[in-house]
Amino acid sequence: MQEFNKKLIECRKCDRLVRFREEVSGRNSRYAGENFWSRPVPGFGDISGSILVLGLAPAATGGNRTGRVFTGDKSSDFLVSCLHEVGISNIPTSTSIDDGLEYYDTYITAVLKCVPPNDKPAGEEINNCSEYLEFEIDSMSNLKVVLTLGTVAHTGFNKYLRKKGFDTRGKKFVHGEVYDYGKFKEVCCYHPSPRNVNTGRLSRKQFIDVLWKVKHQANRFH
């Protein structure tokens, strides 16, 4: 993975996203003076784990600032405190790349490795980035369950599945739905974005319930 990540962080395939990931650091007064990562954000966790948590993209002042996926923003606060509650992480917070966070049997990454404006990637950008996601999933030789956070993650995973010869017809994104592809299962869940959490679309209880479902599908009960 080291070689892979070394190549990944040099990627400049998407002109719009390269510009945005570099510009965004100057737009937030809360982090004035802080050096943003502003490069593609690699996945994090246990690549030999049985669980993959798949998000949309790094957040502007989260992964794009700290250099680690789901780190240093509101979505990370929500996600990691819930992962900790069900025993997937060693600590309940994800604040910086050197905070000592570990995930058990779980790897976390995003469909897109660079932050898109308004969290809306173009189809071409997703296509450009798909080779990286494919490599990550292919590297997870013990993978049993993929938790797709939102429709972009679901669509990205489905694209991967089709490329590998799986039939994804009729498999629409539905919160809480479990799809069985034989080799792996997919559990769909709303993305833990501030918008979904603050509007009540995704409550803490709902998210914890989904995480227990993921652990159950991966046959992990501790």
Q: Is 197 in the site for ligand SF4 (CB under 6 A)?
A: no
Q: Which is nearer to ligand SF4, 83 or 112 (CB)?
A: 112
Q: Which is nearer to ligand SF4, 124 or 209 (CB)?
A: 124
Shortest reach from residue 132's CB to ligand SF4, in Å: 6
- Binding to ligand SF4 (CB under 6 A) within 78-137 occurs at 112-114, 125, 128-129
Shortest reach from residue 164's CB to ligand SF4, in Å: 20
Q: Which is nearer to ligand SF4, 39 or 215 (CB)?
A: 39
Beta strand 44-45 with 51-55 is: unpaired
- Binding to ligand SF4 (CB under 6 A) within 175-194 occurs at none
- SS3 annotation, 26-79: HHCHHHCCCCCCCCCCCCEECCCCCEEEEECCCCCCCHHHHCCCCCCCHHHHHH
Q: Which of 175, 141, 134 is nearest to 158 (CA)?
A: 134
Alpha carbon distance 191, 7 (integer Å): 28
Q: Is 11 in the site for ligand SF4 (CB under 6 A)?
A: yes
* Residues 115/59, Cβ–Cβ less than 8 Å: yes
Q: Is 152 in the site for ligand SF4 (CB under 6 A)?
A: no
Among 18, 86, 97, 122, binds ligand SF4 (CB under 6 A): 18
8 HSE (CA, 13 A, CB side):
23
Shortest reach from residue 41's CB to ligand SF4, in Å: 8
Shortest reach from residue 149's CB to ligand SF4, in Å: 17
Among 14, 88, 146, 187, binds ligand SF4 (CB under 6 A): 14
* Residues 145/52, Cβ–Cβ less than 8 Å: yes
Q: Which is nearer to ligand SF4, 129 or 153 (CB)?
A: 129
> Which phi and psi (to 5°) does residue 212 adopt?
-65, -35
Q: Which is nearer to ligand SF4, 16 or 74 (CB)?
A: 16
Q: Which is nearer to ligand SF4, 102 or 138 (CB)?
A: 138
Neighbours of 139 (CB within 10 A): 14
Amino acid at 44: F
Report the C-alpha dihedral over residues 1, 64, 14, 128, rounded to 10 degrees: 40
Shortest reach from residue 200's CB to ligand SF4, in Å: 31
| Distance linking the first and last C-alpha atoms of the chain | 28
Q: Under the rule (CB under 6 A), what is the footprint of ligand SF4?
A: 11-14, 17-18, 40, 112-114, 125, 128-129
